[in-house]
Chains A and B, each alone.
Chain A
C-alpha cells in the first residue's frame, strides 16, 4: 500500500522569459520574476468593513467573481514582483502587442490613456 500525496508543483519555465516589466520599486526586470494577478481595479463588494455581506446580491457577487473583461487592447492588470521585492502594483498592458504602457503603484490613481496607450491630459 502506497500513499500518494497530491502535490501541486509550480514549474517555472526556464526556456524563455519574454517580456520585461518595470517594477516601480526595482526597475526593469525579466518577466519570469513576476506573477500576473488578474485584472486590476476590481472592487470587492462588501457591506462595509467586516459587516456580513448578505445584502450583496447574487448578481453583484457573481459579477465580481466571474465577469471579467477580456480586453483586446489596453488592459489594466495587477502584477507582483514575486521573485524580487514582493510588491504588488498595477500596469496597463496591450494584450495584442504585449506592450506595457504604464506602471503605477498600488493605490495610485489609474492613469488615463488614449486608445493608443499614450498618457492623456484629463482636461482634453
Chain B
C-alpha cells in the first residue's frame, strides 16, 4: 500500500469493495477510482488508442487522457468514464477500455511494434482497399474506447431549470470569494462545483489564507454561504455549455455513484439549464505536461496531480519521484512530497539563474536541482523505472552531450498552466495569447460575464482573491504575496541522438499523437489549425485537448515557423466534458418522447377489437379484429361492408378550421386553386392548396356555412400547419383583411358514415335536417341537430360511396357514435379502420397528399391543371404554375397501374424507362399507393409516371430491392369509373 499516514480527506473507517478488470480491490470512502487503484499499486489502467502502449493515471481531474474505464454492468453501464473523477462505491465494477483480455496483458499491444506505419492520417491512407466498410469492424474493435451499452438504460435522469442573478462556475478560492461578495449584496447566487468538495486548487495545496490553513477558510466560507437563503450550492455539477443570452448548461452527477441494489430513487444525473443575469467564470486552470520522448509511460504524471493524490487521498503515486519543470509551481510539489516523507529524486528545470523563494526552500530541503536540464527519455517496460536527463540551452534550443540516468518510478511534469477558457470562448468571448504564461487568456467579452482567478490567467492566490473581491464591499481574504521566476517556453527539442528515430514524444495521450505526427501533418500541408486537428485527431473526442492543446499548437508553430498566436486555436465548442445522452433526453423518451393524441371514443374502439397505431401523431384504429381474423382478412371484410352496406369510421383527426369574417371568402380564395367566391351557402367544394412554389401543400373540403362563415377541412395531422399558414398570411401580408381563423380540430369529433345504406342509418335519428337525395346532394353541408345535439353534416366521400361526415362537439362524440351503431345494427353497420379507408380511396384513385404527391407535385400532375388555369384571380402559388418547369410536357403525373395475378405492386418501386427490362435504368416513375382490390379481385396501384397521360395501355417494368414486377398503365380510377355511387 502506498497510503500515507495523516494525509488525505478520505474516510479510513469505511472500506469500499470494488473491482477493476475482474480483480477485487478495496478503497476508502472519498476515493476516486484512480486514487483507490493507485493505493492498491495498480499502475497500468489502460492501453493507448492506436499502439496499445501501457498507460497509467496521468492526472487527477477532468483533463485525464489515459485512465478511462467502462463503468458498471448491463444494464447500468456507462462507457468512457474517467477514473480520476468517478467516486468509488460499494460493489462498483469497472474495466479498462479498448483492451483484451485486460489492460495489464493486452493482445493488441503488438500494434506498438508497427508504429512507424500507424502515423497521422493512417486510417485515411491505409484502409482504401477493398473499402472502409470492410475494415471498419476490425479497426473499431482494436482502436475503440468504451463499448456502447446494448441494453436500454433503466436509470432515471432529470432536467432542472433555474434563473439566477449570478451564476458562479467553480468553487476554488476565486469562485468562493466571488460567491461571498455577490451573496452579501443580496443577489440570487448559484455556485456550481464539478468536484465533490469545495476549494478547488486549495484542496491539493498547503496555502495559507488569513493566517490559517486555506482549507479552514474554505470550510468557514462554505458555512457562511450555506446559511444564506439566496445562495444555492450544487456540487458534482460540471458546467459544460455556454449559449446565447447567458444560458449555461450543467450536468450534475446525483445518484451515479450510489449502489443500484439499494433501490435508490434519485436520478442518476440532472441536466441543468441556468439562465443568469451575470456569469462569473472561475474555472481555474489545467496544468500541461512537458513533451519529451517516452513521456507516456505509466508513472509520468502532471505535477499538480501528484500533489493532489497526496493531499486529498493520502496516497503517494510512487516511492521515488522526479520532477521535470519549466516553471516554479512544480517546486511546491517537490516540497509537499518531501514534507510527506516521499523521496524526491530531484527537480529537473530547463531554466537557469533561479531566485524565487520556493526554489530556495527546495534547495534548503536538500533536494537536488538540475537547472538547465531537461528529461529526454524514460526507461521501464511496464512503467517508469528511470529517467534520462541532459543539459539544455534555451538560446538555441539545443541539448548538451552529457547524459545522466536518474532512478525514479514517477516523473511529475509541469509545463505551465492553461486557463480553462472553454466557457468564455463558448460564450462568444475572444482570447489573446499571453507571452508570460504562454497561454490563451480571455480578452474581449461578448456577454454579461467575467473570468476571474486562474481562468483569467491570474495564477497566484493573492491576486486571485483580490480579483474576486474586485471593488465590492467584501472583505479581502489575506494571502501571502509570492514572487515567481518566469516560465521558460519549452515545447519539444531535437534529441541530437541516433535513437531519435525510435523515440516518440507524446503530445495527445488520448489519441496517441506524437510530435512526429505533428511534423508529418505540417509536411503534408495540414497547417491550418482546424485541418491539422482533424487530420491528426489532436484535441478531439472526450478530453478535447485539455492537456495537449497548447503543446500541439506550439509544435505546429515550430514546424511551420509561426508563433502560437499566428497558429491560432480551434474554437471551443460545448460540451466541456462529455454529457450522457440520458441526461440530455431526461424524461423525454418512450411514451413521453412526443405527445400522443388519442380519440375521444378510444374505449369503444378498444372494446371492439381495434388494432391501434400512430398515424400523424394520432392513435387511430388500423382495423377491428373479430375472433380468429387476421388483419388482412379484417380489412377486406371492412371494405366489403362499406361497398355493400354501411361502414362507420372515426374520422375525428380530420383537420377542421373555422374561417369567418366579412373577408372570409376573399381570404380563402387566395389559398385555394379552386374558386371560393362562387361557392353558395350550404355547398362544399374540394380544394387544393399550394405553396408559393406552386406545389401541393394540402387538400381538403371547404364549405360555406353562411355568407361570412366557412368551415375548412385539412388532411389529418395537417391542421396545425395549415392554421399557422393562414395566420402567417393574415398577419404578415394581408393585415387589413377582416377575418378570424380558428383551429377546431380537437374541439369537434367527426363520424363518417359510408356506404349505400348510410342515409338509411342516418334517417333513423336525424330530425330537423332533410337528408333526402334531392334536398341534400353530394358536396353540400347542413347545420342542425341530432336528438338535441348540435351537428354539422357534410355530404362527402373519400370512399366513392354515398357518405356523410357528421361533425359533433367532442364531448358528444362517443354517445353519438354508440347511437349510430345501435340504429345501424339492422343494416349490419361495420366499424372500419384507416387501412380499409386507404384501400377504398386507392380503388377510386383519390390522392392522399404526402403519399401520392411529394414536394414537386403541381395541380396539373394530379388532374387539376384545368381548374388551376381556369381561375383567373391570384392565389398563392399561381404564378409558379406558369414557370417553364411547370409547363413542360414530360412531367410525372398520376396514373393507375393494373396488375395480373395476385401479387400487389410494392410501394416505392420505380418504373423503368421504356426499352429497359433490368436495373440500372433511367427512372420514369414510381408506385405511390398499392393494394389488392377486394371489389375487383386483383391488385391495383397508383403511381406517378413521366408523360403518364399519353401512356395509357403501355406495359411497364417495375423494380425495387425485392425484384421486378410488371403492370399496365390505366386511368387512375378502378372502381365505379362513372362515379355514380357517391350521388346515391
Contact = CB atoms under 8 A, between A and B. Distances in A.
Interface of A: 1-9, 11, 14-20, 31, 35, 37, 44-47, 49-54, 56, 58, 61-62, 64-65, 78, 80, 82, 86-88, 97-99, 106-107
Contacts of A97: 428, 446
The interface size bin for chain B is 35 or more
A46 B874 contact: yes
B907 interface: yes
Contacts of B149: none
A87 B731 contact: yes
A24 B495 CA distance: 67
Nearest to B693: A65
B244 A20 contact: yes
27 contacts: A5-B834, A5-B848, A5-B850, A5-B851, A6-B851, A8-B717, A8-B850, A14-B586, A16-B241, A16-B249, A18-B243, A19-B245, A20-B245, A20-B247, A35-B724, A37-B732, A47-B874, A50-B670, A53-B879, A56-B879, A64-B692, A80-B727, A88-B727, A88-B731, A99-B244, A106-B735, A107-B735
Contacts of A20: 244-245, 247, 275
Contacts of A56: 879
B108 to A, nearest CB: 36
A5 to B, nearest CB: 5
B732 A65 contact: no
Given A19-B244, A80-B724, A9 B617 contact: yes
Contacts, number: 109
B873 A52 contact: yes
Nearest to B249: A16
Contact of A1 (B159, B428, B880, B931): B931
B874 A18 contact: no
Contact of A7 (B249, B717, B735): B717
B666 interface: yes
Contacts of B880: 61, 65
A42 to B, nearest CB: 10
Given A14-B588, A80-B728, A54 B882 contact: yes
A100 to B, nearest CB: 9
A16 B243 contact: yes
Given A7-B616, A15-B584, A1 B851 contact: no
Nearest to B733: A44
Nearest to A5: B615
B728 A16 contact: no
A71 B360 CA distance: 60
A17 to B, nearest CB: 8
A68 to B, nearest CB: 13
A2 B613 CA distance: 12
Contacts of B588: 14
B273 interface: yes
Given A4-B907, A88-B731, A18 B245 contact: yes
Contacts of A15: 584-585
A117 to B, nearest CB: 13
Interface string B930-944: 011000000000000
A64 B666 CA distance: 23
B626 interface: no
Name the 5 nearest CB pairs between A and B, nearest first. A18-B243, A20-B245, A19-B244, A88-B731, A50-B873
A52 B670 CA distance: 11
Given A5-B616, A5-B848, A88-B731, 5 more contacts: A1-B932, A14-B585, A37-B728, A53-B879, A106-B735
Contacts of B249: 16
Contacts of A51: 873-874
A82 B728 CA distance: 11
Interface string B238-262: 0001011101010000000000000
